[in-house]
Amino acid sequence: MYQLMTTPPHPEATWIDRRDTLEAWFDAVADGDIVGLDTEFTRRNTFHPQLSLLQLGHHGRHALIDPLAFDLGDVLEQQLGQRPVTCVMHSAGEDLETLAPWLPHGPHTLFDTQIAAAFAGLGQGAGYRALVAQWCDVELDKGETRSDWNRRPLTDSQKRYATLDVVYLQRLHDELSGRLRQRDRVAWFTADCERLKRRAETVALPDQPQCELRAAAGWPMPRQALLRRLLIWRERTARERDKPRNWLLDNHHALDLARQPPRDMDQLMLATRGQRALRGPIRRDLLDTLQRPVEAEEIAATTPVPGRPGPQAKQALQAMKQCVDRQADALDLPAGLLCPRKALDAYIADRQWPASLEGWRRGLLQAQLEPLLPA
């Protein structure tokens, strides 16, 4: 047993608050190089995450970029999106979403260390600090986890914490790459990283959001169609106004309004008290959305909200889970990585092969799962 270091080294990092300085930092990055990438962002009062800090690491050089001081413009797209550079990130989903305005298609090549750890046999959802402890013999401090990253100037403690988030990414990349090759999992891992990039760049509105609200199961279809319309309105308005969905309309209010639409503005105001972003023209737009007649075409386009699974569906789900568990054991992969429970629920409900199981998963699972669908 090794003894973990309780105090990691204090890394040096260049503070960058100008575009020309950022462009100069990238001068040392060659095609084919590996760059560690991380972000600090806030999402308390907005729909879209707000970038507060960008951390970079490259061959022992580290930089903290202040996006509040200057416009990043197209630097990241030019240097990390268009050039053949591998960006090493940990649990990159939210970081990619945050960086989408400047890196709309994600990095040219993504290496997500959390995904790599799962394919390497280290368990699903491994944290960055746990991997650093295992592979680098360093125990990182969590003291700034809930820090205010919009404050300026940042404290020395904040800078150190943020820099350490990229210091060990190169080492993790090297260690995990070796394990992926040994286990012959490089192709599957690469496909999952590409899928994560595509998911982060997708901005399409959800088509059937009402299916997530099981309380509407069994409603008359015109009411379900109105709920669908209302939830799509909420999503579109939240994105346009950059407000949290629940500030406009939480699920409880959405269900109540679709079940019993208000006759006028007074009823709407009474029914939506407490919704802090529902003001003025937005409230009028909501009333118009609720009062517009539900047409036959809209009903036909609405997928019925699934109810509680019956006995046959429960049996099918149990059989499918057992099948997935056996396959996962044989492959030495976490069952949740191979096939999430949510994907099985969707497959049983609509009998269509889930998009989340396309690619290498389909070849492994479809022939085994399809015969288990309830009659």
Domains of the chain: 14-201 (3.30.420.10), 209-300 (1.10.150.80), 311-372 (no CATH)
Least confident span in 177-181, 271-275, 298-302: 271-275
Least confident span in 5-19, 28-42, 85-99, 358-372: 5-19
Residue of 366, 367, 373 lying closest to 351 (CA atoms): 373
Rounded CA gap, 324 and 358, in Å? 15
Q: What are phi and psi of 57, to 5 degrees?
A: -140, 140
**pLDDT tens-digit series, residues 132-182:** 999 988 999 877 777 899 999 999 999 999 999 999 999 999 999 999 999
Rounded CA gap, 280 and 23, in Å? 44
Rounded CA gap, 63 and 163, in Å? 7
Residue 62: how many other CB atoms lie within 10 Å: 21
Residue of 33, 201, 32, 195 lying closest to 115 (CA atoms): 195
- Tell me the pTM: 0.91
Cis peptide before 153 (omega within 30 of 0): yes
Residue 369 has pLDDT above 70, yes or no: yes
Least confident span in 55-59, 196-200, 312-316, 337-341: 196-200
Q: What are phi and psi of 213, to 5 degrees?
A: -105, 85
Q: DSSP letter for 269, please.
A: H
Residue 205, classified by CB atoms within 10 Å of its CB into exposed (0-12), middle (13-18) or buried (19+), is exposed
